[in-house]
A and B are shown apart, each in its own frame.
Chain A
Amino acid sequence: MAGTRASGGAAWAVAAAVPDPELPMLTLADLGVLAGVEEDGATVTAWLTPTYSGCPAVAEMAADVDRRLRAAGFADVRVRLRLDPPWSTDLITAEGRRKLAEAGIAPPRPGVLPGGGTAGGSTPVALGRTRLASDGKATGTAAGVAAGAAAGTAAVVPVACPLCGGTDTEELSRFGSTACKALWRCRECREPFERVKEI
């Protein structure tokens, strides 16, 4: 398939600076949604990889990229979706993670997979953890299929509070204001915060 993640071109710079409609502190490049930009003479093709299947912001992203490229002087703009490989929170850049934390949203932990193993797996079943304490041990309910453990990660990575940096945090609700976020609370500074879930 044509198109690369290669950066550096003028069109890439324009597309890469487009803010995400729902997380406007991040650009589409920070979010890892911009999968490639190809310049061929006067024609620019930009590829986007949608986040969640049902993410309603995809159409907005496509429209914003199209509009900004035209405004930058590119006459023939094509925005295309690239579905493979699927988007993952691991595609959020280091810069993107920093901006999320700065905005009070805990970034996803790299390399952690969602869910508790596969249908055929023999992963023990238990209520998930609501707290991931700083010593790496689960607290609260029985230790079991937390995402990290199921993914084979040896140590559970704590979720740090983006406001005070504390690691004594707990999940209030797995599902938050958008498909990609969960609602958490810091037990040190007592503030609630959102966090981007790993997928």
Chain B
Amino acid sequence: MTDDHVYLSLAEASPEPEGEGRWAYGTGFADPLLGVDTAVPPGLDGADLAAYCLMLGDDALVLAQRLIEWCTRAPELEEEVALANLGLDLLGQARQLLTRAGQADGSGRTEDDLAYWREDHEFRNVRLVEAPNGDFAYSIARLLLFATARGALYEGLAGHADPVLAAVAARGVKELAYHREYATAWTLRLGDGTPYSAARMQAGLDAVWPLVEELFTAHPVELRVGVDPAVLREPVLRSVAAVCAEAGLTVPDVPGLAAVGGRAGRDGVHTEALGPLLAELQVLARAHPGATW
């Protein structure tokens, strides 16, 4: 073989259609809900279901982006792999939820339309997930809170009337259990480690805390088609408090970050951190509209 381009060489070695070498390129199958019944079940409002899937999907997409930012920057290679794995789980959940949102509202928008072609004020994620990564302790504190709360929420959604949402939640419960276990282990290691690591972990927890309350603040759409997040508040905070107690950390007692005129992430009112995050997330798709590979 004379061609020194590795992918062209692969193509020559394994031509279509029998070639398993196609693995190197990806496929034309892009729909994460391939062949799944798209009808909205009777009794559910399609617009509400779409808005709800967008909220949960945006939470997962934005936190996935933050977790993946740790690649090449984590303190250990193993933690980079771990954080990227957790991000991949969330990205998979986001793909299904955004696809479901585009089906349920009748717009036919794809996951890519929704991920790459919306502006920051159209995103419906809670502000907790968009905050910059901070140090490792901050990222771990955020993950602990998010994974505990999202795992509990998915438990409540596993029997949802919408079969797609129910299926995403049923599998998500198990994935989030791993996320929570990972965050718990690091919270214990850092909190119950040296005085310096404990101080850093406490600072991370303190800095995350103002963004936590929004996880338990219901938007009307959540009350109509989802689980009221307010009911998760007590069990989730109790669980996090147990981790803090074991780690020798103090549960912060600080007020939540104020909403803007009663509006926050679920209404599209975000912190200034979301814009730059989306710029990086969306730049390739916007520079080359419609590109495929």
**Could you say which of B17, B167, B188, B238 contacts A83, with CB atoms under 8 Å apart?**
B167
17 A-B pairs whose Cβ atoms sit less than 8 Å apart in the complex = A53-B92, A60-B22, A67-B17, A71-B17, A86-B167, A86-B174, A113-B174, A114-B178, A115-B176, A115-B177, A118-B155, A120-B235, A122-B242, A125-B184, A125-B245, A175-B78, A175-B82
Name the A residues within 8 Å of B81 (CB-CB). Answer: 173, 175-177
Q: Is A87 part of the contact surface with B, judged by Cβ < 8 Å?
A: yes
Interface of A is mostly: loop
Q: Judge whether B185 is part of the interface by a CB distance below 8 angstroms.
A: yes
Contact B36 A81 (CB under 8 A): yes
Flag A113-142 by CB within 8 Å of B: 1 or 0 each.
111101111101111100000000000000
Q: Which residues of B contact A175 (CB under 8 A)?
A: 78, 81-82, 85-86, 182
Q: Among A53, A71, A120, point to the contact of B168 (Cβ < 8 A).
A: A53
Q: Is B208 an interface residue (CB 8 A)?
A: no
- Which residues 154-176 of A sit at the B interface, judged by CB distance below 8 A? 172-176
Alpha-carbon gap, A55 to B30, bound state (A):
13
Chain A residues with CB under 8 Å of B166's CB are 84
**With the chains together, A88 CA to B35 CA distance in Å?**
21
- Name the B residues within 8 Å of A113 (CB-CB): 174, 177
Q: Which residues of A contact B (CB under 8 A)?
A: 21, 52-56, 58-60, 62-64, 67, 71, 78-88, 113-116, 118-122, 124-128, 145, 172-177, 179, 183, 197, 199
Contacts of A53 in B (CB 8 A): 89-93, 95-96, 168, 171-172, 175
Minimal Cβ-Cβ distance residue in B for A48? B34
Which of B27, B35, B184, B189 makes the CB contact (< 8 A) with A81?
B35
State the CA gap A174–B89 with chains docked (Å): 14
A63 touches B96 (CB 8 A): no
From the candidates A114, A122, A126, A128, name the one contacting B246 in the complex (CB within 8 A). A126
Is B49 an interface residue when CB atoms closer than 8 A count as contact? no
Among the listed stretches B110-118, B132-140, B144-152, which one makes contact with chain A, having 4 or more residues with CB under 8 Å of it? Answer: B144-152
Cα separation A87 to B167 with both chains bound (whole Å):
10
Is B18 interfacial (CB 8 A cutoff)? yes
Contact status of A59 and B90, CB under 8 A, knowing A116-B177, A119-B151: no
Bound-state Cα–Cα, A123 to B203, Å: 26
Which residues from chain A contact B148 at a C-beta distance below 8 Å? 119
A179 touches B88 (CB 8 A): yes
Interface contacts (Cβ under 8 Å), in number, total 154
Which 9 pairs show the lowest CB-CB distances between chains A and B? A115-B177, A53-B92, A80-B35, A54-B92, A83-B167, A120-B235, A54-B88, A119-B152, A175-B82
The reply to whether B175 and A199 form a contact with Cβ atoms under 8 Å apart is yes
In the assembled complex, which residues on chain B have CB atoms less than 8 Å from the CB atom of A172? Answer: 78
In the complex, chain B residues whose CB is within 8 Å of the CB of A60: 22-23, 27
Whether B174 pairs with A199 at a CB distance below 8 angstroms is yes
- How far is it, in angstroms, between the C-alpha of A21 and the C-alpha of B95 when the chains are bound? 21
**Chain A residues, Cβ within 8 Å of B174:** 86, 88, 113-115, 199
A79:B34 contact, CB within 8 angstroms:
yes
Q: How far is the CA of A4 from the CA of B252 in the complex (A)?
A: 52
Complex Cα–Cα for A83 and B155 (A): 16
Evaluate contact between A119 and B149: CB separation under 8 angstroms: yes
Q: Are A52 and B89 in contact (CB under 8 A)?
A: yes
Contact present for B181 and A128 (CB under 8 Å): yes
**Given A67-B17, A81-B35, A84-B163, A115 and B92 touching (CB < 8 A)?**
no
> How distant is B37 from chain A, measured CB to nearest CB, in Å?
8
Q: A119-B149, A119-B152 are in contact. Are A59 and B18 (CB under 8 A)?
A: no
B55 at the A/B interface (Cβ < 8 Å)?
A: no
Closest beta carbon of chain B to A183's beta carbon, Å: 8
